[in-house]
């Protein structure tokens, strides 16, 4: 599955992005939009990094490049396996949690998880066990045989989370996965996501425009400016905030105010 075969299953990997730039050409006119201009960032193995920025800052573009969906860019991206210190440059196993669940509506919840397991190359004999385990962990144990359109938006996103974790990814990319949910549901699901991640430390790149969410979830926040020519403008470590975190913690609240102030500087 992973090209080169040197990236282990379910191991976290380091991500290093150097001088990454990306231009979109307007159709016909020859005009260009420089979406990303010299992005540098590193994600340590097992680290939870959030990229925070206003809409139009190229966050999703960056994720599309990291995921391999978009291959037209300049600069370099390298993945190295965390634990052994090797320098494998093969393709790591990536899971992507989109803003919408992107489940296949014609397959049951179980079928959707199996779809990812199949794509990731897990043998058929493992499917049932993994499926049950992850659906149980996201609280959908009783809904395996339901079709996505029979479930609420929150449950659908849970199914997508189960699908993402079930393949034991090396890297988990998330593009505002909770932004379509109401705040109460989103809060619960952030906590559930953290619980899953604490138990399975994949490297995470999480994209959002919500500073509250960024502070609650991350080890480190990278702030990007509004385009054109977006790059990482600021970096905030959150190691001083112990986990598990709580929205009511004054220190966390102070940090969030600081993050928001620094974000505002790069919006205009």
Partner 1 sequence: MKEVARGDRWVKLISLSLLVGLWYAVALLPAKSVFPPPHVVLLYLIEDVQSWAIWSHLLATLSRIFFGFSLAMAVAVPAGILLGFSGLAQRLFGTWVLIGLMTPSLVFIILVYTSMGLNDIAAVVAAAMTVIPVLVVNIWENAKAVDSKLVQMARVFNLSTLKIVRQIVLPQLAPPLLASARFGLGLVWKMVLFVELLGRSNGIGYQIEYYYQLFNMGRVLEYTVFFVGIMLIIEVVILGGIEHRLFRWRPAARLG
69 binds partner 1 per the rule CB under 8 A: yes
Query: Which of 86, 105, 141, 242: binder of partner 1 (CB under 8 A)?
Result: 105
Residues 6+ apart with CB under 8 A from 243: 194, 198
How many residues sit in the footprint of partner 1 (CB under 8 A)?
A: 31
In whole angstroms, how far apart are CA 192 and each of 45, 197, 255?
21, 9, 22
Closer by beta carbon to partner 1, 174 or else 221: 174
Tell me how many helices (H) and strands (E) the chain has.
7, 9
151 binds partner 1 per the rule CB under 8 A: yes
Closer by beta carbon to partner 1, 152 or else 246: 152
184 binds partner 1 per the rule CB under 8 A: no
The contact mask relative to partner 1 for 186-225 (x = CB under 8 A, - = no) is: ----------------------------------------
Query: Which of 102, 133, 187, 188: binder of partner 1 (CB under 8 A)?
Result: 102
Q: First and final CA of the chain: distance in angstroms?
A: 44
User: Within its chain, how far is the Cα of 194 from the centroid?
Assistant: 12
Q: Can you read off the two tokens belonging to residue 256?
A: 């969030």
Give me the least distance between CB of 68 and partner 1, in Å please.
Answer: 7
Cα 9–Cα 11–Cα 13 angle in degrees, nearest 5: 120
Which residues sit opposite 76 in a β-bridge? 18
Q: How far is Cα 135 from Cα 166, in angstroms, rounded to an integer?
A: 9
Task: With contacts defined by CB under 8 A, name the span among 27-35, 101-109, 200-208, 215-223 that binds partner 1.
Answer: 101-109
Give me the least distance between CB of 45 and partner 1, in Å please.
Answer: 20
In whole angstroms, how far apart are CA 132 and each of 114, 141, 142, 193?
10, 7, 10, 17
4 binds partner 1 per the rule CB under 8 A: no
95 binds partner 1 per the rule CB under 8 A: yes
116 binds partner 1 per the rule CB under 8 A: yes
Q: Can you read off the two tokens belonging to residue 203?
A: 């490297």
Tokens 């090396």 sit on residue = 170
User: Which DSSP letter does residue 168 get?
Assistant: -
Closer by beta carbon to partner 1, 70 or else 192: 70
Q: How far is Cα 212 from Cα 144, in angstroms, rounded to an integer?
A: 32
Q: How far is Cα 93 from Cα 142, in angstroms, rounded to an integer?
A: 28
Query: Which of 15, 41, 51, 94: binder of partner 1 (CB under 8 A)?
Result: 94
Give me the least distance between CB of 38 and partner 1, in Å please.
Answer: 25
Query: Which of 147, 179, 210, 228: binder of partner 1 (CB under 8 A)?
Result: 147
Report the site for partner 1 in 37-56 (rule: CB under 8 A): none
Which chain residues interact with partner 1 by CB under 8 A?
A: 1, 67-69, 93-96, 98, 100, 102, 104-108, 115-116, 118-121, 146-152, 155, 167
């Amino acid at each position: 599955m992973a090209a080169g075969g040197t990236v282990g299953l379910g191991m976290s990997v380091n991500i290093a992005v150097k001088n990454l730039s990306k231009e979109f050409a307007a159709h016909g006119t020859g005009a260009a939009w420089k979406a990303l201009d010299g992005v540098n960032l590193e994600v340590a193995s097992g680290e939870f990094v959030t990229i925070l920025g206003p809409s139009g800052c190229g966050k999703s573009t960056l994720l599309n490049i990291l995921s391999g969906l978009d291959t037209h860019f300049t600069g370099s991206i390298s993945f190295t396996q965390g634990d052994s210190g090797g320098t494998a440059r093969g393709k790591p196993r990536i899971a992507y949690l989109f803003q919408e669940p992107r489940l296949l509506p014609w397959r049951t919840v179980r079928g959707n998880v199996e779809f990812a397991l199949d794509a990731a190359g897990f043998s058929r004999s493992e499917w049932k066990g993994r499926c049950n385990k992850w659906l149980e962990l996201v609280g959908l144990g009783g809904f395996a045989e339901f079709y996505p359109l029979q479930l609420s938006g929150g449950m659908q996103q849970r199914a997508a989370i189960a699908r993402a974790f079930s393949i034991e990814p090396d890297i988990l990319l998330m593009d505002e996965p909770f932004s379509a949910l109401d705040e109460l549901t989103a809060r619960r699901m952030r906590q559930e996501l953290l619980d899953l991640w604490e138990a399975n430390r994949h490297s995470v790149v999480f994209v959002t425009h919500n500073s509250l969410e960024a502070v609650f979830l991350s080890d480190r926040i990278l702030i990007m400016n509004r385009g054109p020519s977006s790059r990482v403008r600021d970096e905030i470590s959150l190691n001083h905030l112990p986990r598990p975190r709580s929205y009511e913690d004054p220190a966390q609240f102070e940090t969030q105010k600081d993050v928001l102030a620094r974000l505002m500087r790069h919006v205009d």
